[in-house]
Structure 1
Amino acid sequence: MVKNFPFYIKVPVILLGLVITVFIMSVLRDVLIPLAFAALIAILLNPLSNRLERRLPKIVSIILSMLIAVLVLFGVMYFLSSQIAHFFDNVDAMRQKLTELLHTIQQWLEHQFGITDKKQVEMLNEAAKNSKAMIGQTLTGVLGILSVVFLIPVYTFLIMLYKTLILNFIYEVFSEENTRKVAEILTETKAAIQSYIIGLLIETSIVAVLNSTALLILGVQNAILIGVIGAILNLLPYIGGIIAIALPVLMATLTTDGYTTQLLIIAAYALIQFIDNNILVPRIVSSKVQINALISIIIVLLGAALWGVPGMFLSIPFIAVLKIIFDRIDGLKPWGKLLGDTVPTEHMGQLKRMRRKKSTVSTEKN
């Protein structure tokens, strides 16, 4: 016999569960972040590993698929490092232009707001003093990155090796009557994550080419490096696009005179964003789970608050998996609709009023 508890009891229990979950995720971030990335990589490499497994032993197939992924990653890193080397060719000229720009800003602040140069220096020193506490966190972050470099490959290998064991555990946790729903959720989750990640990689490559081409035409220094960085930042929904535009604008400000180039950069990036949002994302990313813009922004900010930059990248796949689960469970379907991008033309109140009117009219006719 299922007992339905009143609303004022359900809400505190749900909130308490959310608080405990967030607390655990925050405390165990050093373990969960590499584990989450490893799970995504394992799902992405699973088709390649399965294809190799038809001719090779399972362990050899897993190692080969991971080696291919590592080679591709090192190729991208080598390309970026070669572009970064060119960045330092004109660093002295950019430093001089930056000094002139800062001096202009100081004069503008003193003229507009009455903040003297001495007061501005005091404010900068105060900000620097307050930021000294972040040095320890930065060192911790570097050590965390080094641990992630070793943990992610190990986690990925073990997840792919024990894939069958993990799947059997998930099936056995739930009763036999829910086996079909569990199978559907797992199948859709795998397909959604694979299509999402592969689509993002293709989209990022195209955006990188478009960004670099536009910046090269406009004569911006380090165009390819800035274009690729902008494409990577574009992976962060809405927020990354703003930062991606700021980088070439800042570079043009430090290396050119006037503001014509900056305006052309903004116009070019606006056009690229329009092409990306209206053509590339709907046709290339083509994820089976579409999350609306409001939820995307909120979940990215929550991911940043919880796990920092890794949380921003992991937030969208995480919410996509949640939507798949919500859509398959009757009691959670309203939450799945809230996360989705299908906007109804009328709300439930209007539909109920229309039904009452129709019912009243038919009664009067009778």
Structure 2
Amino acid sequence: MAKLQHSIYVLLFFVLSFGGLYFAGPFLIPVTLAAVFSMLFIRLCNWFEHKGMSRGLASLLCILSFVLAIALIVFLLFWQLNGLVENIDAMKTRAVSLVSNFQQWIYEKVGIDAQQQKEMVTQQGQAGGSGAGNMLAGFAAKIMDILVNTVLVLVYMFLFLLYRSHIKKFILKLVPGDEKNKADGVVHKAGKVAQQYLSGLAAMIGILWVMYGIGFSIVGVESAIFFAVLCGILEIIPFVGNLTGTLVTLLSVVAQGGDSKMIIGVLVTYAMVQFIQTYLLEPLIVGEQVNINPLFTILVIVLGEMIWGIAGMVLAIPLLGILKIVCDHVPDLQSYGFLIGTEKQRSRKTGVIDKIKSIFDR
């Protein structure tokens, strides 16, 4: 009975925590993004410090490297986007043709002619027209909010890297003296898992850019690099991102006037890339740093979107991985760590991927 009561208290704690995370999102999202991203640069920052740089200068160089990488990605996107803008008239003509065909299909199936459909759309537009100004103001406010949060994330990242030893000492002071060694191991392992997951994910995204770029170019997709970069970046969000990127590419191909062969080519490219990613890249590059079963992977992504939106979907996997490590090392929470994780079915390395990984691990 006492054990059941304890489990209920733990679940109640999680429910209250999720509520607090939701209402404190505007403050916590930039802080959490900075904390997770800063883990990615700890190894680089240590390397700079070993070369004789001060911690402040090393942290600043890491932030500059991060900004440079983001700027390069944005440059590639806008560079390829210019090609789409040049063909916007042709895409509009194709879109109008598709809409006309769709209206004709509705008339044949439902009996509503094009004029009636136009009147229905006009009525809907008039109903929402009064809020157009508010929508524009809200969009401008959203852009400003993104810019402010971006600056905050960069500032927080610099401070987290600069004061990481101080923060670690604070965490160790929270535990009893006889548990400090164990707590130090948990902190180190949690940081290492997040770092390895993010670095592996970054490497996998880079490889996906190349594969998608080659595939889309062979198929004949206009601005192939743009859609390759887009599909790769969206892989940050598991399950949802790859489908979204491919759907956007297909819609663009249709708007560009692509034939059935091009559409099939995009689908084949997507299938081949997903096969290579699932059975080769993820086991070899990302590995099992975040050892979470698929059920909780999907659940935490959905929950992250409900609490923090897109940022929550991006942060869901690494944060749950850190939480699992904490649960595995706290006796009262080990059952939850077992529930989140996966059971290892093999006691020895026999797979091809394991053999390849063992070569790189030597």
TM-score (normalizing by structure 2): 0.87
Aligned counterparts, 1:1-366, within 5 A: 5=2, 7=4, 9-10=5-6, 13-54=9-50, 55-117=52-114, 118-119=116-117, 122=120, 126=124, 129=127, 132=131, 138-342=139-343
Residue range with higher mean Cα deviation, 234-243 or 252-261:
252-261
Question: Contact 2:327 / 2:337 at 8 angstroms: preserved in 1?
Answer: yes
SS at match of 1:315: helix
Residue of structure 2 equivalent to 1:358: none
CA distance in 2, matches of 1:343, 1:103: 55
The size of the alignment, in residue pairs, is 341
Residue range with higher mean Cα deviation, 47-56 or 195-204:
47-56
Residue of structure 1 equivalent to 2:349: none
- Cα 1:138–1:181 change in 2 (3 A) is farther
Q: Report % sequence identity.
A: 26
Task: Give the drift of 1:151.
Answer: 0.4
C-alpha deviations, 1:157-201, integer Å up to 9, x for none? 111222122111101111122223212211111111111111111
Question: Contact 2:290 / 2:318 at 8 angstroms: preserved in 1?
Answer: no
Residue range with higher mean Cα deviation, 173-182 or 134-143:
134-143
C-alpha deviations, 1:41-90, integer Å up to 9, x for none? 22111112122223022212211222222222222222222111222110
C-alpha deviations, 1:18-45, integer Å up to 9, x for none? 3321222122212111111111222111
- Cα 1:128–1:137 change in 2 (3 A) is farther
Residue range with higher mean Cα deviation, 66-75 or 107-116:
107-116
Question: Contact 1:300 / 1:312 at 8 angstroms: preserved in 2?
Answer: yes
Q: Which AA in structure 1 matches 2:66?
A: A
Question: Contact 1:193 / 1:317 at 8 angstroms: preserved in 2?
Answer: yes
C-alpha deviations, 1:80-134, integer Å up to 9, x for none? 2211122211000001101111121222223224444424752675388569576
CA distance in 2, matches of 1:126, 1:343: 55
CA distance in 2, matches of 1:128, 1:337: 55
SS at match of 2:246: helix
Question: Contact 2:304 / 2:313 at 8 angstroms: preserved in 1?
Answer: yes
SS at match of 2:2: coil
CA distance in 2, matches of 1:168, 1:13: 29
- Structure with bigger RCO (C-alpha 8 Å, 6+ apart): 2
Residue range with higher mean Cα deviation, 143-152 or 331-340:
331-340
Residue of structure 2 equivalent to 1:359: none
CA distance in 2, matches of 1:341, 1:111: 52
- Cα 1:139–1:24 change in 2 (3 A) is farther
- Cα 1:209–1:257 change in 2 (3 A) is closer
SS at match of 2:19: helix
Residue range with higher mean Cα deviation, 19-28 or 267-276:
19-28
CA distance in 2, matches of 1:166, 1:157: 13
Q: Which AA in structure 1 matches 2:252?
A: M
Q: Which AA in structure 2 matches 1:330?
A: P
CA distance in 1, matches of 2:258, 2:64: 47
SS at match of 1:143: helix
Q: Which AA in structure 2 matches 1:112?
A: K
- Cα 1:251–1:107 change in 2 (3 A) is same
Task: Give the drift of 1:322.
Answer: 0.9
- Cα 1:14–1:332 change in 2 (3 A) is closer
C-alpha deviations, 1:189-232, integer Å up to 9, x for none? 11111111111111001111111111111111111101110111
RMSD, matched Cα: 2.4
- Cα 1:19–1:333 change in 2 (3 A) is closer
TM-score (normalizing by structure 1): 0.86
Q: Which AA in structure 2 matches 1:267?
A: V
Residue range with higher mean Cα deviation, 21-30 or 264-273:
21-30
Which structure is larger by alpha-carbon Rg, 1 or 2?
1
Structure 2 gaps of 5+ residues are 347-362
